[in-house]
Amino acid sequence: MLEPLARPLHLVLVSPQIPPNTGNVARLCAVTGCRLILVEPLGFSIDDRNLKRAGLDYWDKVFLRLYPTYEAYVAAYPDARRWLFSARAEQTLYEARFEEGDHLVFGSEVTGLLPEVMEG
């Protein structure tokens, strides 16, 4: 049985739409111990039947949380240090100084992070 890291990074996908992309992030989380947070709406189903059909048999190794809205996610982690990833960011990934327990927040592959997330 896997034991979670003391203060892992949290990878937050807000409204992901492409199942293989989410599957790749989930696999990364499974092997590194990072936490995966999915914020609905999702562009696919994560029920057992669909996961098995896609061959994603490592999902039982992923520390997953699912939230119905971005606001519900923020309420669950009010004091989290969040890094919002955007093509229009003022700071590059290479300038960031990540710390244990940080939340790395990514938007939909189609729309990116919505303005209310970027402004919040």
Please state the domain extents for the chain. 10-117
> Which residue numbers belong to the known binding site?
107
Average pLDDT, the chain: 87
pLDDT for the residue numbered 68? 97
Three-state SS string across the chain, please?
Answer: CCCCCCCCCEEEEECCCCHHHHHHHHHHHHHHCCEEEEECCCCCCCCHHHHHHCCCCCHHHCEEEEECCHHHHHHHCCCCCEEECCCCCCCCHHHCCCCCCCEEEECECCCECCHHHHHC
**Which CATH number does 10-117 carry?**
3.40.1280.10
> Which residue numbers belong to the known binding site for S-adenosyl-L-methionine?
107
- State percent of the chain over pLDDT 90: 51
This model's pTM is above 0.85 = yes
The answer on pLDDT for 17 being more than 80 is yes
